[in-house]
Structure 1
Amino acid sequence: MKQVKLGIIGVGNMGTSHAKNVLEGKVPGLELAAVADRQKNRRAWCRENLPETVQIFEEGTQLLESGCCDAVLIAVPHYQHPILAQEAFKKGLHVLCEKPAGVYTKQVQEMNQEADKYNVVFAMMFNQRTNCIYRKMHEMVKNGELGEIRRVNWIITDWYRTQSYYDSGSWRATWEGEGGGVLLNQCPHNLDLIQWICGMPAKVRGFCKEGLWHDIEVEDDVTAYLEYPNGATGVFITSTGDAPGTNRFEITGELGKLVCENEELTFYKLNENLAHHCASCQGGFDKPQWEVLKVETDGQNEQHVGVMKAFVGAILEGTPLVADGREGIRGLELSNAIHLSSWLGKTVELPINEDLFLEELNKRRENSRIKEEVESVVFDTENSYGSGKGENK
């Protein structure tokens, strides 16, 4: 195989962007062969804007059964991600799944188990792992340059959204259609990165405010307290109601502090181990000395195109992925834990009780508001990449 024939299921905000990237030749070795979307206006857009060689289907299952593709990119509402992925595995198709991996970990566990049965490439669209700043943070933490982590703080409130955004699709911002709010739509990248860089916490206490800033039934404002196995603590704050908002990711370790803000990475490097200084210093108020270093990176940040290049490379040459699809469950478990803690009003331990989470989620799905059928509106995603973030569907 020299060319990978790709089918895109879901031609909304991100599906459209992915299709354009492929058609513009940004991903060598990838050919757009088919698309599928349930919305009439999106299929009409495809007929008007895509080459005649691209087949157009109404249902993703029709595309999977057509035999015209080697791989599929899934960019549909969240509940369908694991369902379509499993059907694709059974057809022998390679899968690149948009975030999140799903809505609840029990379903994603089944997807991962199914992926293990087939000799196919399974990748997750965690495009922020291509960002040179986050890659450098990951490298520095894993190499021990910060020593043992003591504290993690990420305030990521520059996800501002208007009411018209939430009104742009019948599935948006409902428990039944989307399965959550800012945690499931905007923040899967951030939750993936915080666990990729700092590891998974052992306990979570979440506070989710539902419909605080918008007329929606899901959360649009979240504060979560994290406890790590080594005793380190963390705070994660996010919202779609703040403007101009803040994006500051800070990691404190025994050897210094790493701060990511305004697309710059700064290392406050201690001259000695903090624990050693605390135990040996005779001055009660004497702080250890440090130097402030601007951290250099390779400057590379290919985002979605980088993930797709790696996907093609894994299929054609067996080279590494940016993110294996099975890794999607980690950030989702953190999201589920924050939700479950907020719903129960108490701290929860990880791994969470998956059955209890699904039970609580289904209570909310039963009472989910039914929106009148809305034809999906596709927004210009270029203005939504503040601080280098990827956009939601």
Structure 2
Amino acid sequence: MGQCTVALYREHSYYTATPWRGTWAADGGGVLMTQAIHYIDLLYWLLGEPVEVFGYTNSFKHGDNIEVEDSAVATVRFESGALATISATTAAEPALGAQVQVMGTKGATMTILEFPEGTDGRLIVRSENDTVETTPSHPADLYPNADLSIINGALIPYHTAQIADFIDALNEGRPPLITGRDATRALKVLLGVYESAATHQPVSLI
């Protein structure tokens, strides 16, 4: 089983100060498309090929400023038989970060926690014999609603590395480490959630 939880904070000005944000035409979606897609991608890499999704979307906090969703929930069924839930919002105050959790066939669990948003994830592993490795996830002096410029700044080295690999791949005549096909798999899941939310029916992804 798996679980993807994205509980982030955005002020209204995040959308109102940048007119294209929160629009279907330019943004392509809300919290699922802009924030949660990265963690859905990680869930996919851990659990394999998704085959069906059922979901709901709503805009609880930012509905007066955006066309798209600020909150969504979904269930996902995978080719292996694995099941997962997705919960995502930009209406959390304070923000609680993002978490991807997987439980294996023998009950062992792995949790990757990113708190606050944009920081290095903390890895919590419970092994099969009940031993636990953990690190503090909510330090007392930590401000949860990190400024967006800090979040984006922390991501620069990772974006730089990905662009560098893409350029090297072109020069070396090889596929990049992350291909366009890889990216479409996570996209397929969230587009399935949008379709399910509109039709109130489960959506096949195969």
Q: Same fold (TM over 0.5)?
A: yes
Question: Which letter maps to 1:259?
Answer: T
**Of 251, 260, 265, which residue of structure 1 is paired with 2:123?**
265
The answer on 1:153 being equivalent to 2:3 is yes
Question: Which letter maps to 1:168?
Answer: A
Asked whether the equivalents of residues 157 and 238 of structure 1 are also in contact (C-alpha less than 8 Å), the reply is yes
**Of 303, 311, 316, which residue of structure 1 is paired with 2:158?**
303
Q: Which residue of 2 aligns with 1:245?
A: 95
Question: Could you say which structure has the greater relative contact order, defined with CA pairs below 8 angstroms and 6 or more residues apart?
Answer: 2
- Distance verdict in 2 for CA 1:193–1:170, change over 3 Å: same
Q: CA deviation at 1:294?
A: 5.7
Structure 2 distance, partners of 1:155, 1:171, is 26
Which whole-Å deviations, capped at 9, do the CAs of 1:343-392 have from their partners, x for residues lacking one?
111211113xxxxxxxxxxxxxxxxxxxxxxxxxxxxxxxxxxxxxxxxx
Structure 2 distance, partners of 1:233, 1:196, is 14
Structure 2 distance, partners of 1:182, 1:321, is 27
Structure 1 segments of 4 or more deviating over 4 A? none
Question: Which letter maps to 2:124?
Answer: T
**Of 115, 132, 136, which residue of structure 2 is paired with 1:292?**
132
- Secondary structure at 2:131's aligned position in 1? strand
Structure 2 distance, partners of 1:306, 1:179, is 25
Which whole-Å deviations, capped at 9, do the CAs of 1:273-323 have from their partners, x for residues lacking one?
xxxxxxxxxxxxxxxx4222469xxxxx94111102211221223466231
- Secondary structure at 2:109's aligned position in 1? strand
Asked whether the equivalents of residues 156 and 245 of structure 1 are also in contact (C-alpha less than 8 Å), the reply is no
Asked whether the equivalents of residues 258 and 266 of structure 1 are also in contact (C-alpha less than 8 Å), the reply is yes
Query: May I ask how many residue pairs the two structures share in their alignment?
Result: 176
Structure 2 distance, partners of 1:320, 1:267, is 33
Structure 2 distance, partners of 1:303, 1:182, is 21
Q: Which residue of 1 aligns with 2:60?
A: 212
Give the TM-score normalised by structure 1.
Answer: 0.42
Question: Which letter maps to 1:251?
Answer: V
Gaps of 5+ in 2: 116-120, 136-155
Q: CA deviation at 1:235?
A: 0.7
The answer on 1:315 being equivalent to 2:170 is yes
The answer on 1:222 being equivalent to 2:72 is yes
Aligned counterparts, 1:88-167, within 5 A: 151-158=1-8, 160-167=9-16
- Secondary structure at 1:335's aligned position in 2? helix
Asked whether the equivalents of residues 4 and 40 of structure 2 are also in contact (C-alpha less than 8 Å), the reply is no
Structure 2 distance, partners of 1:349, 1:333, is 10
- Secondary structure at 1:191's aligned position in 2? helix
**Max Rg structure:** 1
Aligned counterparts, 1:342-357, within 5 A: 342-351=197-206
Asked whether the equivalents of residues 54 and 197 of structure 2 are also in contact (C-alpha less than 8 Å), the reply is yes
Question: Which letter maps to 2:111?
Answer: V
- Secondary structure at 1:328's aligned position in 2? helix
Question: Which letter maps to 2:92?
Answer: D
Structure 2 distance, partners of 1:318, 1:269, is 41
Structure 1 distance, partners of 2:179, 2:50, is 21
Give the TM-score normalised by structure 2.
Answer: 0.77
The answer on 1:170 being equivalent to 2:27 is no
Asked whether the equivalents of residues 257 and 267 of structure 1 are also in contact (C-alpha less than 8 Å), the reply is yes
Structure 2 distance, partners of 1:319, 1:231, is 33
- Secondary structure at 1:333's aligned position in 2? helix
Q: CA deviation at 1:152?
A: 0.2
Asked whether the equivalents of residues 48 and 80 of structure 2 are also in contact (C-alpha less than 8 Å), the reply is no
Question: Which letter maps to 2:32?
Answer: L
Aligned counterparts, 1:63-78, within 5 A: none
Gaps of 5+ in 1: 1-150, 271-288, 296-300, 352-393
Paired-residue identity, %: 29
